[in-house]
Amino acid sequence: MGGSILEPMEKDVLILAIESSCDETAAAVVKNGREVLSNVIYTQIALHTQFGGVVPEIASRKHIEKINQVIEQALTEAKLTLQDITAIAVTYGPGLVGALLVGVAEAKAISFASGIPLVGVHHISGHISANYIEHAELEPPFVCLVASGGHSHLVVVKDYGEYEIIGRTRDDAAGEAFDKVARAIGLGYPGGPKIDQLAKEGNPDAISFPRAKVAENEYDFSFSGLKSAVLNYLNSCQMKGETVKTADVAASFQKAVIDVLVEHSLHAVKQFGFSKFAIAGGVASNSSLRKAFEQECARQGIRFYHPSPIYCTDNAAMIGVAGYYEYLAGVRHGYDLNAVPNLKL
């Protein structure tokens, strides 16, 4: 009997992904790297707000409390059981060591008990890969701006899982600057979304804040001078007995951050000769930033990609996407996989 001319059906690759690097306990199931079957996020924000920022020890404890429930929910919503899963992807760095450890230990335990292969994923690779979820046509190479609470990186995405960092922040990350300025004007934690909202009522040209350039590398960022300028402005208003228009401060600060991010990013896209540009990370959910990139990219003939806000802030679906491409590349981790708080991209 001759062989069938039909190729055997490729089996679906189903990744169970776990993310616990900061203050979100998250699990997701991703099919064939691009289709999100479930995306469960338990956010601890309310818990940390009273302390004005993330308290690492509290974050770790809450992760332990929530992680099993979140994983079970992710499998249930995907209408799958562990037996259907091809590989388990988990964020193993960078992040808070105690928080990361919860996800890593959980993933190792499930892998050990079930025999399902384990794939460790870099958190930033996850953020970048969030762009693949809703843009089926997006493939490397492209330039990506990653702006989160801990990172402001300009990255050339050479291939899936292959990155070159061409610019980074010299001091504060963009999200960190949002959080610090928000605290200074009494908005509380997390500052990004609150400044985003308040800025809509303010005048972005009301106060002239600095746009820092870094002499040694045109793609690097620096936000600490801007943060100090805002604090100085608030102090001088207080000394003069003037009331501060917080909406104007929020809008003017936000514009200063966005101007620098847009200018450096699109300069890199042109200089490196790319036609595609993407954004990622919590700050990428900022509405004015998205508008600014949309307009500038359209003007310069660059195709602009951005994830929906839910895939910008920490989630496990993005880890499932990055984990899929690692899995395809043959990456498998052993039970000695450890949390690496300062993991390099």
Reduce the secondary structure of 70-89 to three states and give it as a string.
HHHHHHHHCCCCHHHCCEEE
Number of residues binding to Zn ion, judged by CB under 5 A: 2
Evaluate the omega torsion of the peptide bond into residue 56 and state whether it is cis, within 30 degrees of 0.
no
Binding partner of 98, given Zn ion, ligand KG4, none, CB within 5-8 angstroms per partner class: none
Pair 324, 12: CB distance under 8 Å: no
Ordered strands of the 276-280 beta sheet: 162-168, 152-159, 142-147, 276-280, 303-305
Binding partner of 219, given Zn ion, ligand KG4, none, CB within 5-8 angstroms per partner class: none
The nearer residue to ligand KG4, 111 or 223, going by C-beta atoms, is 223
The nearer residue to ligand KG4, 196 or 220, going by C-beta atoms, is 196
Binding residue (CB under 5 A) for Zn ion from 39, 44, 111, 148: 148
The nearer residue to Zn ion, 254 or 313, going by C-beta atoms, is 313
287 to 136, 148, 270: CA distances (angstroms)? 23, 15, 24
CB of 46 to ligand KG4, least distance (A): 15
CB of 228 to Zn ion, least distance (A): 25
CB of 257 to ligand KG4, least distance (A): 8
| Total residues belonging to the chain | 345
Ordered strands of the 87-93 beta sheet: 35-43, 24-31, 14-19, 87-93, 118-122
Pair 59, 44: CB distance under 8 Å: yes
Q: Report if residue 196 touches Zn ion, rule: CB under 5 A.
A: no
Binding partner of 286, given Zn ion, ligand KG4, none, CB within 5-8 angstroms per partner class: ligand KG4
The nearer residue to ligand KG4, 124 or 337, going by C-beta atoms, is 124
Residue 213, sorted as left (phi over 0), alpha (psi -120 to 50) or beta, turns out to be beta
CB of 286 to ligand KG4, least distance (A): 3
Backbone angles phi, psi at 341, to 5 degrees: -60, -30
Binding partner of 196, given ligand KG4, Zn ion, none, CB within 5-8 angstroms per partner class: ligand KG4
CB of 186 to Zn ion, least distance (A): 25
The residue among 123, 88, 146 whose CA lies nearest residue 333 is: 88
Backbone angles phi, psi at 217, to 5 degrees: -145, 115
Pair 118, 326: CB distance under 8 Å: no
Binding residue (CB under 5 A) for Zn ion from 220, 248, 314, 326: 314
CB of 95 to ligand KG4, least distance (A): 7
CB of 258 to ligand KG4, least distance (A): 10
Binding positions for ligand KG4, rule: CB under 6 A: 22, 148-150, 175, 178-179, 190-193, 196, 281-283, 285-286, 313-314
The nearer residue to Zn ion, 21 or 265, going by C-beta atoms, is 21
Pair 273, 231: CB distance under 8 Å: no
The nearer residue to ligand KG4, 15 or 173, going by C-beta atoms, is 173
The nearer residue to ligand KG4, 106 or 179, going by C-beta atoms, is 179
Task: Give the binding site for Zn ion (CB under 5 A).
Answer: 148, 314
